[in-house]
A and B are shown apart, each in its own frame.
Chain A
């Protein structure tokens, strides 16, 4: 048995093949393919892979994707990026879902001077003081203000409450920015309640919310938790509406939440398969996606994964070189780049400035309602 195991190990070791090719542009992808955030990371990877399949060459050179899992774990994220830079010698990196993971990886890339494009890490801290970290997504304060504007101005609700995942930076940040904007506009926050990631029973919080009688509840949750919250709210007979954010944007929300998600609103990036007027990039993305995944509708995570690659391609082409430093410089000057999620411009803090969309779930389907401009 022992001998067998040793032999097995040796065989496995021999399987490690290293390839070195100068005429290849290596693009590292680090994302959470396992662990708690796997649902998001897997979708983003599929988006990036789709973009790669459609654009296998940049500047006439073959592009090779090197995919590394970060296990939704900070230590692993730092290891993964180090591995991409040191072992695989990548020219640029794409990733990741989850801001805390992006921060861990970002530090490594910063030191090595390799540009990274973040997919959906929306925490303002990710790109703060970073020369090499960019992202295709907008950031939490913008989105929190957008949700508040829509709730207060468009829907005319005067009393709001928040239900926030205390252990999730994304949720805590959005909740805070929503409350601040809402109050500035003159609205009243009647309750702010918390839960912890991993909870499945929200009845206590919901019953307390029912007691507080808000018009609308801001729920910056991940979609899997959010759908359960909506289900339980319906069971308890809650009368208020819910509004969420981009992490609720997933086709599965309807299958998970059933009729309980009817009327649910959420802010998101300006892309949805249900959009009436899509730009060219979005159209192409949707068509190609449906060819490969006929039974699965795309969502913003897929789109952002795709956009990262598009933005990287644009930067490499404009720089005329795949040298990391040149890619970085080109990324800084991205302006009005057509991407799946609308026109993308990179601002001084390396965040994407782009439109914010509102989606409502009507008749069991996601409906793209329009664009919101945050006012505060």
Chain B
């Protein structure tokens, strides 16, 4: 219902705006039309950088370079042979380039694709870098692009630049492009794929465990962002009608970065508000450089004051609204309507050796983290893995779930060898896990966290999310994922929190949410890393019941690391004990309780006589 209402409101708003654009030449003079154009172009640029940085969390300082590629490709395609002939006054243009000519629309699409192609080439090697190193590497690439453009005069006319580009960027063109980019971005970000992008930003490790190939997602976001950068650059070139390499220096990237941070990092709405604000502010502030008359006092204009005041305003805005204007929030029609009560209550349900570990060894340099571990888990078992601190339990988990490669040995999961697979591949095979230090996607809602988990089981491709109204399976699959996620949440008693931020949940609920998220990947085998950590006795009692219920209701096999002996002894069918990487004992809870080696490992030599572990 809300959806239909919101759709109608959006369509009305778009029509009103289109009518306004249609009337704009009469209502506004050329100066304001130009500023409107710039707002749209800056918004496209901001959206695309926001997708890379704000949403997927990759610090890129290379946007100016991709803009340059877009601007040049488009300009070279729309310029006529006669114009090209007269412009290359220093070097001769390549003959093949002279006669290339396409209509404007095609040129900007090719411009975007060219930028995306270069983006892809850049992304494949450098996206392995993290944080600020990625920023500086992308900055390096954008400078290399600029230097290449400057030096390849036969192709680009070098530092002379290009001029006389037909002014194709009309208001309808720029806002139309923004409209298309906006619709595609919003659709994509609203689909489950959008959640996946944000998941990569919030916690890459956990995202991997949700079966997400994070590198692929990062490359995808980066390439799409570069497409936007190229498109924006092309529109900019066709607005200014002349381009040269010096337009695309690092300050250009700073400007876009400024817009997205002022607007709100990660917020699509913020990017648009930010670009409107920064663009108009810069122009509006021009008056401070004109002579000003207040009453009888005459202040002569001071050149440069505009930028001084602008930079001061920028600092003030950042200090007083550090999250930007929108923060991570988005505009929604719902803010004009009272929030309806959520009502969701419905229930639906969800080989014998599951996992076999043979002679598994893990060495870090000279340190033996795990020395020769062997065990098997059968279908429906709950198995415990215990041992004192530093025994290698979590390391074993990390090897099984694919974060570490075993130095030696075999791991067979459902009869297939998985040693050496990456976490996301392991997850796709049907394994999931939780983490000792809870790793939720903190900025996402509880529901979104669970839905991200189900992305690995969805079938639609990323490009379908750009146009969900055509590829309706996106909507259908996302609806299914949502229903399932709500089911999981209600089964785990989390449904009341569905729309809250994951990081705002109480500790116990966060633990359960992590399990719900793991279950959303439809695992057959679940690894729980210290689920009872930080729980009081009452909570851990509930946890024991819960773990058993999990196995029964979801038909799971569970491997569990736990320090709380009460939980281990009550819930596990079988227990393995590790000490300093060595597999020292195994057996049923009763056997373990009375095993002297286990007691020695926990309490030190000589303590064995004093009694049982539990």
**Chain A positions near chain B (C-beta within 8 angstroms):** 1-2, 5, 12, 15-17, 33-34, 38, 42, 45, 66-69, 71, 73-75, 78-79, 82-83, 85-87, 100, 103-104, 107-108, 111-112, 123-125, 128-129, 166-169, 171-173, 176, 196-197
Q: Are B167 and A166 in contact (CB under 8 A)?
A: no
Chain A residues near B294: list those with CB within 8 A.
Answer: 15
Q: Which of B184-192, B301-309, B381-389, B562-570 contacts A (4 or more CB under 8 A)?
A: B301-309
Q: Are A87 and B90 in contact (CB under 8 A)?
A: no
* 26 CB-based A-B contacts, threshold 8 Å: A17-B293, A38-B303, A45-B303, A66-B290, A67-B289, A67-B301, A67-B303, A68-B286, A71-B307, A74-B240, A74-B246, A78-B240, A79-B34, A79-B35, A82-B31, A83-B286, A100-B244, A103-B163, A104-B241, A107-B240, A107-B241, A111-B167, A125-B87, A125-B163, A166-B159, A173-B90
Task: Tell me the smallest distance from the CB of A158 to a CB of chain B, in Å.
Answer: 24
Specify the main secondary structure of chain A where it touches its partner: helix
Q: Are B161 and A100 in contact (CB under 8 A)?
A: yes
Q: Are A167 and B163 in contact (CB under 8 A)?
A: no
Chain A residues near B430: list those with CB within 8 A.
Answer: none
From A42, A104, A167, B240 is in contact (CB under 8 Å) with: A104
Q: Are B34 and A167 in contact (CB under 8 A)?
A: no
Within 8 A of A (CB), among B280-308: 283, 286-290, 292-294, 301, 303-304, 306-307
* Cα separation A82 to B301 with both chains bound (whole Å): 20
Chain B residues near A169: list those with CB within 8 A.
Answer: 158-161, 244
Q: Are A172 and B34 in contact (CB under 8 A)?
A: no
Q: Are A86 and B31 in contact (CB under 8 A)?
A: yes
Chain A residues near B244: list those with CB within 8 A.
Answer: 74, 100, 169
Task: Tell me the smallest distance from the CB of B140 to a CB of chain A, in Å.
Answer: 15
From A16, A42, A45, A104, B287 is in contact (CB under 8 Å) with: A16
Q: Are B287 and A87 in contact (CB under 8 A)?
A: no
> What per-residue 1/0 map shows which CB atoms of B224-267 lie under 8 Å from chain A?
00000000000010011111111100000000000000000000
Task: Tell me the smallest distance from the CB of A20 to a CB of chain B, in Å.
Answer: 14
Q: Are B158 and A172 in contact (CB under 8 A)?
A: yes
Contacts A79-B35, A167-B159; A2 near B151 (Cβ below 8 A): no
Considering only CB atoms, which chain A residue lies closest to B302 in the complex? Answer: A33
* Cα separation A83 to B34 with both chains bound (whole Å): 9
**Chain B positions near chain A (C-beta within 8 angstroms):** 29-32, 34-35, 38, 86-87, 89-90, 147, 150-151, 153, 158-161, 163-164, 167, 236, 239-247, 283, 286-290, 292-294, 301, 303-304, 306-307, 316, 320
Task: Tell me the smallest distance from the CB of B77 to a CB of chain A, in Å.
Answer: 19
* Cα separation A287 to B150 with both chains bound (whole Å): 43
Chain A residues near B167: list those with CB within 8 A.
Answer: 107, 111
Chain A residues near B30: list those with CB within 8 A.
Answer: 82, 85-86, 108, 112
* Cα separation A173 to B150 with both chains bound (whole Å): 13
Chain B residues near A100: list those with CB within 8 A.
Answer: 161, 242, 244, 246
* Cα separation A108 to B241 with both chains bound (whole Å): 9
Chain A residues near B29: list those with CB within 8 A.
Answer: 86-87
Candidate in A104, A111, A123 with the most chain B CB atoms within 10 angstroms: A104
Chain B residues near A166: list those with CB within 8 A.
Answer: 150-151, 158-159
Chain A residues near B303: list those with CB within 8 A.
Answer: 33-34, 38, 42, 45, 67, 69
Chain A residues near B164: list those with CB within 8 A.
Answer: 107, 128-129
Q: Are A75 and B292 in contact (CB under 8 A)?
A: no
Q: Are B163 and A34 in contact (CB under 8 A)?
A: no
Contacts A74-B247, A167-B150; A107 near B307 (Cβ below 8 A): no
Chain A residues near B86: list those with CB within 8 A.
Answer: 128-129
Known: A68-B286, A86-B31, A167-B246. 19 other contacts (CB 8 A): A1-B320, A15-B294, A17-B292, A33-B303, A33-B304, A34-B304, A45-B303, A67-B289, A75-B236, A83-B283, A86-B30, A104-B240, A107-B240, A108-B30, A123-B160, A125-B160, A167-B245, A169-B159, A171-B159
* Cα separation A73 to B150 with both chains bound (whole Å): 17
Q: Are A82 and B34 in contact (CB under 8 A)?
A: yes
* Cα separation A335 to B286 with both chains bound (whole Å): 37
* Cα separation A171 to B160 with both chains bound (whole Å): 10
Chain A residues near B163: list those with CB within 8 A.
Answer: 103, 107, 125, 128
Contacts A75-B240, A107-B167, A166-B159; A34 near B307 (Cβ below 8 A): yes
Q: Are B289 and A103 in contact (CB under 8 A)?
A: no
* Cα separation A167 to B158 with both chains bound (whole Å): 8
Considering only CB atoms, which chain B residue lies closest to A126 in the complex? Answer: B163
Considering only CB atoms, which chain A residue lies closest to B255 in the complex? Answer: A75
